[in-house]
Amino acid sequence: MSKRVVLAMSGGVDSSAAAVLLQQQGYEVIGLFMRSGATEEPQVCKTSLGHDLPIVQPKAHKQGCCSASDAADARRVADSLDIPFHALNFQDAFTRIKDYFADEYLAGRTPNPCVMCNNWLKFGKLWEFAQSVGADHIASGHYARVVGDELAVASNAESPTTRHCLHRGLDRSKDQSYVLFGIRKEILDRILFPVGGFAKTEIRELARQTGLRVADKPDSQEICFIPDNDYIGFLERYRGHHDTAGEIVDTEGNVLGRHEGYQQFTIGQRKRLGITFGSPRYVVAVQPTTRRVVIGTREDLMEPTLEADRLNWLIDDVPDRFTCQAQIRSQHQCAEAEVQVLDEDRVRVYFTEPQFGVAPGQAVVFYDGDRVMGGGWIC
């Protein structure tokens, strides 16, 4: 078995500790930093002599994973561990993710760019690069696990075969298996998640003991191409101004007020509604065709069912109907559910108890205990 692995290095503590763990396991590690290709053009003003003078902009608060400082951190870690390091520009792939993000918001849905980044970039382009350098494995610092289950020996087989399954990370507070459901099943046996069997505190301690300067670096919290967390500003800069203003209505259609753009609202939102109520109110629906935003109570957001499409299965045989635990957003606690397969690319999910804030555009992921069965996109 080849021991060469390409590791996605973001400059954070998790991927850095992953490099240490892979080396300890005897792997030949090659580090890869994925540049988004997104750079801000410097603004200039004219001096009295007619010269261009750059205008220094305030530095935005940055907690993403693709900045120049992140690349520098990743390179320093690679140098300290004496592993080859590459920083490649994946601007086209990032442009596709930005397009998806903008399209979803303007369609009144709630996007999840981290899932798409994993599908298209981290476990798509990363695998392509690994093959080009003769590596048989790819790795990342995600808190998840790939578990090999030994299958029964077939009558004509010389040895047992192994089925590789995606499982939650052992540290449930940091588990990232939800955003990994879209990985192609056929490459699961090529993926390594070195930190998935550890608690976050253990990973930071490992980094400290190894002398890595990123040991106490804060976790990424924001979307990498929106470091200031200003979604609306990004949409205006990226897609230009759209007249998306309209009415705010209640669930009966009564007009309560007006809003400046429906893309400013997501299902389940409670703050920044622009109207004061005597009791808590939430965004119940976003209607791009009428440009209406519907406001209701928490009870109005409790859904007993949902439908999802664009499915990706990580199990071999999908039953027509099965029970599972379903997760409908990254911070949602799994709920007991029954899944009915409607056709090859659509399912209906029946929850044992109605769930709050089912949002079109988000993913629903199905679990059998800690094992990821698959998932799809809420429609």
Which phi and psi (to 5°) does residue 357 adopt?
75, 45
Q: How far is CA 30 from the centre of its chain?
A: 23
DSSP code of residue 55: P
C-alpha closest to that of 30 among 49, 3, 51:
3
On whether the CB atoms of residues 308 and 350 are closer than 8 A, the answer is: no
Contact at 8 Å (CB) between 174 and 196? Answer: no
Dist CA 246 CA 261 (whole Å):
7
As to burial, measured by CB atoms within 10 angstroms (0-12 exposed, 13-18 middle, 19+ buried), residue 331 is: exposed
324 catalytic per annotation: no
User: How many C-alpha atoms does 165 have within 13 Å on its Cβ side?
Assistant: 18
Q: List the catalytic residue out of 65, 117, 165, 324.
A: 117
- Residue of 65, 114, 165, 224 marked active site: 224
Distance from C-alpha of 89 to C-alpha of 36, rounded to nearest angstrom: 6
How far does Cα 100 stand from its chain's mean position? 13
CA distance 272 to 270: 7
**Rounded to 5°, angle at Cα 160 from 158 and 164:** 140
β pairing state of 255-259 and 302-313: unpaired
45 assigned to active site: no
CA nearest to 144, candidates 14, 325, 310: 14
Tell me which residues are annotated as active site.
Answer: 117, 224
